[in-house]
Every structure is written in structure tokens, then in C-alpha cells.
Amino acid sequence: MQTPWAILLTKFNDNNDEPFPRLRYEEIFTTAGTGKWNMVDYFSDMSHGKLDLSGTQVFGWYTLDKATADYTGSGLNPAGRDELLQWAKDKATSEGVNLGDFHNVVVVLNSGRDLFGGLNGIVCGDDGANSALSGLSPSFLGQEMGHGYGLNHSRREGSTVDYTDPFDVMSVDAGRSAPHPIYTDLDPFGQPVYEIGPGLNAANMWSKGLLDMTRVWTDPGSARISTSVQLRPLHRRDLPGYLAARFGEYFIEFRMNTGWDARVPACILVHRFEKGISYLVPDEDGNDTFRAGSGISTPENLSVLGSGFSIRVKSIDVANEVATVSLGRAPAQIPKVFPQEGPFQTPWIKWLEAASLGEAVVILNGTAVSIPRSSPAYGILENVAMIGSSHPLMSERLQISIREEAMTNIARLSQTEMSAPLFRSPTTSLHRKTGGRWENGSS
């Protein structure tokens, strides 16, 4: 997919500095720097070759009809940021640049005045003083241009705070970035001025159609699964084999401490994607990285009659760049005889030895009422029990999801029950258990 960018070198009218030769900007953004850890390389690797930035061009310098003090944009004033983007676009257009030929724009200032990105464009810059991490650092540009492709900041499971996935470029402020291999400038504290990485996680790649699904092991959806999957490092499409796995709602990826991920330890990462945001899922011990032997599985208090899933790392072979993950899922195992003793998740629903009847039995005020499996009321009881089983869960998100689903099902089934003959005919009977035997009772 061709997504060329227009790079607009831009000055305010009270600062005429040009901090770097034009070649530096071309090397960072265009094919002039291919192979030098630039943005053409980065988005090719992060999209499994789907994003082609080879048509990117550098324009300018352009001098705005505005002074530095005229710019008031900030995170608290996004309208001011939009103004700056529009000033630069208008200036480039007046100089003959057809911005319609480009996917988006990057406005590069001759200072570090601001750094942000969005669907409307990107602003970055560097004054060349090497006093801090540069706004032209590919690590920063990966996130800001990522916004230009519609990506949001990433998070850790259970958190609503952005920048909490250190292994994803969309959390670059907390990210595992590494020193740039080519631009090795240091600030006064001996820290790199230019950094690269980390990479984009599989969930974010998938959300924008950048994950090569022909290289992804995909859950067949079977009720029972027990298998092992070998994974190659997520961004190494030059190696044969699977680059990720999709199991239920989870994206499973192998990352290694090489290339863009030079500061990411060899590990398995698990993510899920919800409402435009990727979430880093920790293992059962709360660790962000999955190592050999670690995993996650259905909590015991959520397992219904043995049902559930598991994801577990069997091995990580750094030398051969391959990791093996075991994946499992099991359906509920329905017992032939229901237990007669409590305690029960929902105390007023008690199971009797009624498996042969294929019915649910409810004890109400000491009277046993049989509900045939064919009755919508049977499904209502199942969903009532599901609500009861959600109370012990640690995850409020799961509790809410289970209850919402159950209440929706109850409403639908109740409507069906209201249309059943029981409510249309006074002769319909119920089965009741009295004196140890089943008998019909008039309704």
C-alpha cells in the first residue's frame, strides 16, 4: 500500500536556523536513508511489507508569516496545534506542493518547539544542539506517524492509563527504545540523542490490516483444542514459519532483543484489542513478559464444569530464533449425576438426580419445580446462574461483560416465555416433586 508522506521543513519568521544539512532529513524520512534505520524501513517492517513509504518527499525550507510566540498549541490546546499544521500546509500549497498526492504530512521545525501526531498531521523538530532526545528520533516518529495511520496509545491490561505497554511503540514514552546504530550523538549526560524502536505489537498491526494473516496461526474455533505452535520473531518476515498466533481474543507474539527490539528481552507477549486500544496482558504471576513455563488460563472460579482455556510457553530458543507455545481449550464436562450437597454459587438453585430427565430442578419455598430443557425458562436459569458465578471474578471488566450478556439473554428468553402456551392456556401443567415422586399439577 503506497502511503507517501510530505515532509515540510518549516520555520517561524523570527528563527532562520537550518540545524542540519538537507540530506539528514532525507535520510530519516525517504529512500535516501533506506538501510539506515529510517522511517521507510520502520513502517515496512512494522507492516510485514504492506506499507510502502518510498514516495515520501522533503519540501522547504518554508518560512511562516508567524513568529514563534504566535504558536500557542499544546496538549491542552489541540486547536493551536491544528493551526500550526494548517499554517504549514497553506505555505507549502502556496509554493506549489500538491498535498493531495500524499498520505499525510510531517511538519519539521528548526527547534524542539512541539512534538505530536494525529490523522491531521505530525509536528516534530530539532534545533541541532544535542541537548536532549531529538524530536527526529525514529522512536518518537514511529509513535507520532503511527497516530497518522490511526493508531492510539497502548495500555496494560486493567489500566486506563496511556503509555503503559513498554514493548510497543505506541507507548514510546515508557518504551524499550535502543540507541540508533547510525546516528550516535550523545547529550551532555551521555544519553543517546537518537533512538529506535520498539516495534509495533501484533494487536495494533492487526487493527490496521498490517499483520500478514497468512503468517498467523489462527484459532479454528473448535470446542476442544490442544496444540503447540512455533513462533518466529514478530517482525522477521524473512524467516519461515508463523509470526504470531490468534487464540480467542488474544494475540500471541515472540519478540527478541535484536533490530528495532534491541532492548526487548527474548519473550512471549500477549495482547488483546478493545475499542481501538491494544492491551498488554500479564501472565498469571503478573509479569508483563511470558518466559518458558509461564502462562495464563481460565481462573478456577470462572471455569464451568472444567471448561476454560490456557496459553503456556513451552520453550524459547534464542539461538534458533523460535519459541514454542502450547494452546488449550476444553468445553464443560456435564456430569451424569448432579451433586445433592451444597454450597452452591446461587444457593436457591439446587441440582437433583435429574440428569436422566434432561430438566432443571429449582427449589422454591421447599417445593421442587422441574423446568424442561425445551423451555425458555431453562435458559433463563442458566443465565441467572451465570450472573451468580461472575461475583468472585477479580476483573470488573469481565464481571460487567458477563452480567450484560446474561441480562440480555434473560430479556430475550423472557419474551419467548411470555409467548409460550403456559401463558395462553389455563390447562398447561407443571411437574412438581412431592413425597419423593413426580406428579402433574394444574396450572
Strand partners, 434: 437
Closest CA to 241 of 250, 251, 254: 254
Gap between the Cα atoms of 224 and 435, Å rounded: 42
Say how far apart CA 50 and CA 63 lie, in whole Å.
35
**Are 280 and 258 spatial neighbours (Cβ–Cβ below 8 Å)?**
no
The closest of 266, 130, 119 to 189, measured between CA atoms, is 130
Cα separation values, 400 from 125, 200, 383, 390, Å = 45, 30, 14, 8
Residue 269 CA, chain-centre distance (Å), reads 11
Q: For the domain made up of 5-150, give the CATH fold.
A: Collagenase (Catalytic Domain) (3.40.390)
Of the candidates 11, 148, 134, 3, the one whose C-alpha atom is nearest the C-alpha of residue 84 is 11
Is residue 177 within 8 Å of residue 197, measured between CB atoms?
yes
Whose cell is 416433586? That residue is 433
Residue with cell 534545533: 127
Q: What is the pLDDT along the chain (443 residues), one digit of tens a residue?
A: 999 999 999 999 999 999 999 999 999 999 999 999 999 999 999 999 999 999 999 999 999 999 999 999 999 999 999 999 999 999 999 999 999 999 999 999 999 999 999 999 999 999 999 999 999 999 999 999 999 999 999 999 999 999 999 999 999 999 899 999 999 999 999 999 999 999 999 999 999 999 999 999 999 999 899 999 999 999 999 999 999 999 999 999 999 999 999 999 999 999 999 999 999 999 999 999 999 999 999 877 666 667 789 999 999 999 999 999 999 998 877 655 545 554 444 444 444 444 445 566 666 565 666 777 777 777 777 777 777 666 555 456 666 777 777 778 777 777 665 665 544 444 433 333 334 444 444 33
